[in-house]
Structure 1
Amino acid sequence: MAGIDCGTNSIRLLVADLGEQSATAPLTDVVRRMEIVRLGEGVDETRRLAPAAIERTRRALAGYAAEIAAHGAERVRMCATSASRDAANADEFVAMVEATLGVAPEVVTGDEEARLTFAGAVGGLADIAPAPYLVVDIGGGSTEFVVGVDTVARAVSVDIGCVRMTERHLRADPPTAAQIAAAEHDIAEAVDRALAAVADQPGPAGQPGPPTLVGLAGSVTTVAGIALGLDEYLPERLHHARISYQQVAEVTADLLAMPVARRLRIPVMHPGRADVIAAGALVLRIIMERAGVPSVVASEHDILDGICLSLR
């Protein structure tokens, strides 16, 4: 089976073996790929997907379709999130996907996105971090906040993704102090709303607020890789790595002070992420500040794994 997650900044593929036919049996990765396509470029301002962005996504998707066919995946599910929800011309995107992949993309609701994200993120966490969990998925256009133990209890999505915040505020290279302050204000207001929304009901199973913050997506894992001083991007080192607030704050300050050309020289940096990573790091830092948590557990497993798990 194969799952595709198409977000605002990247499009990702997981071809996996179901293994044992049980709900709790782990997936076995066959192929895991990611391409930066910036589908949501300019959507915050124009509310439309740009033709060049759709074409970049089509080229990546054509490669994924060939990979899926080569491995004989029997079931395929593609989910599209923030950018395609926001766009007035989403029908053009859907038509492109159907022509390229042979299946229609699902522009998932916020509730479904939360369920898939949580299912993918919390697998295997019980042995290393206590539940309940606050899972935050920092995407390109939005950030999802999901609280739960074994399943989702509460969830909310706010429009503070790394691409959106870069385009809206951090336009200079490097960003100015005034731009950073404006971004911090915007992000803090959204984070406070999100935290209030996921905390204003009794905790799952009567438990207190979530003690474990789990961070997903490339902004979090890149910050973790920088904090750990890795010489290259190593998913096995990053998955379930625990990073302190102090480390996140230091990495964020460094990234905000660097021009993009210097960020590109960081060993763990994907070239397509260098211009938006400072905004993603800033979102993570402010979430940790406003939630009052001392550390974040980085996860390489997220909505993409949840999509594949849903095909059982």
Structure 2
Amino acid sequence: MRVAAIDCGTNSIRLLIADVDAGSAESGSGRLVDVERRLEIVRLGQGVDRTGRFAAEALARTFDACRRYATLIDSSGAEQVRFVATSATRDAANREEFMTGVRDLLGVEPEVISGEEEARLSFAGATRELAGRGFPTPHLVVDIGGGSTEFVLGGTGDLPTVAGPQAAISVDLGCVRLTERCLPSDPPADAEIAAARAEVDRQLDKAGLTVPFEEARTLVGLAGTVTTVAAMALDLSSYDPDRLHHARIPATAVHAACARLLAMDHDERRRLPYMHPGRVDVIGGGSLILDGIAARVAPFLDHAEVVVSEHDILDGIAWSCEGPEELIPCAF
């Protein structure tokens, strides 16, 4: 079955059109065959942490992207469409204006999902293909977004998706939110970086009360912050998803990349060959989050590294289009 999945977050809106071969839910088999993947940085969450509302220009950027996605979906012949909105939409007082616009443009009901559902879908997208590939379980999947970060622990033996997530939490810690709160200067001052690290530590303390980091054996990182930091650690000459997918980045390399990014100004970051233009002003904050997570979790892992995944919540949304029986069971 051909499906279309849309993930609308705080910083970006992404589309996956894919053919689903469900395989066996019991064995975790099956595959997604990509037809189209698109990403646009729309910064829907611009100022939401401060004002509690979507800015008019942010809504306009998002609706423009939805129009382009609607054209692609219509021409693809997708049989099922699921539109998921996450952190910024949960927080915005005028979210009905956003939802009405999406309905009008795409003809689908947008779902404002909880942080726990976001975490579960991220786990599904990231772990379904890990079985039998030598990544020890349990897996700790971390999805660093613009407004929130999801932590999901799960997997036993060789079938992480069948075991499902065992614990999950979403915290208000994302690259846009942290930058707006703590990192106004370019490059950020030492005092700003210290304040940002303190906020990261505070949120990690909160997450650790629900998700036992000490049980993790593999740390899996998702989304644009992780792939950008990994591209820097690997010294890529351009953004290369094939090189990045399942790359193993030592925690020490994450720390070094974070330090480099925080020392750069806007123009230096913009010139990096793998840097998406929409991440230039928030990658420092995102790298601080990833560095904090890697430092906190590394002592417990079989290998002190971050395993990068190009597959994430978008893939989890696509799998869920197959029907409720294909959703990974939760045990939160």
- Normalising by structure 2, we get a TM-score of 0.90
Alignment partner for residue 12 of structure 1, among 5, 11, 14? Answer: 14
Code of the aligned partner of 1:166: T
**Is 1:229 matched with 2:235?**
yes
Residues 9 and 39, structure 1, Cα contact 8 Å, conserved in 2 = yes
Distance across 2 between alignment mates of 1:138 and 1:116:
14
Alignment partner for residue 309 of structure 2, among 282, 299, 302? Answer: 299
In the TM superposition, residue 123 of structure 1 has moved relative to its aligned partner by 2.0
Q: Counterpart of 1:58 in 2: which secondary structure?
A: helix
Distance across 2 between alignment mates of 1:67 and 1:60:
11
Identity over aligned residues, as a percent? 56
**Is 1:171 matched with 2:173?**
no
Aligned ranges for residues 64-143 of structure 1 at < 5 Å?
64-126=69-131, 127-143=133-149
1:58-92 residue CA offsets vs partner (Å, 9 max, x unmatched): 00111111001111111100000000000000100
**Runs of at least 4 residues off by over 4 Å:** none
In the TM superposition, residue 20 of structure 1 has moved relative to its aligned partner by 5.3
Going from structure 1 to structure 2, the CA distance change for 1:53 and 1:196 (only over 3 Å counts) comes to same
Residues 114 and 152, structure 1, Cα contact 8 Å, conserved in 2 = no
In the TM superposition, residue 21 of structure 1 has moved relative to its aligned partner by 5.4
Code of the aligned partner of 1:187: V
Distance across 2 between alignment mates of 1:112 and 1:238:
26
1:160 corresponds to? 173
Q: Counterpart of 1:191 in 2: which secondary structure?
A: helix
Residues 192 and 290, structure 1, Cα contact 8 Å, conserved in 2 = no
Distance across 2 between alignment mates of 1:196 and 1:128:
28
2:271 corresponds to? 265
Distance across 1 between alignment mates of 2:289 and 2:116:
22
**Is 1:242 matched with 2:248?**
yes
Task: Tell me whether 177-186 or 106-115 shows the greater mean CA deviation.
Answer: 106-115
Q: How many residues align?
A: 305
RMSD: 1.2
In the TM superposition, residue 292 of structure 1 has moved relative to its aligned partner by 3.0
Q: Counterpart of 1:27 in 2: which secondary structure?
A: strand
Q: Any stretches of 5+ residues in structure 1 without a counterpart?
A: 201-207
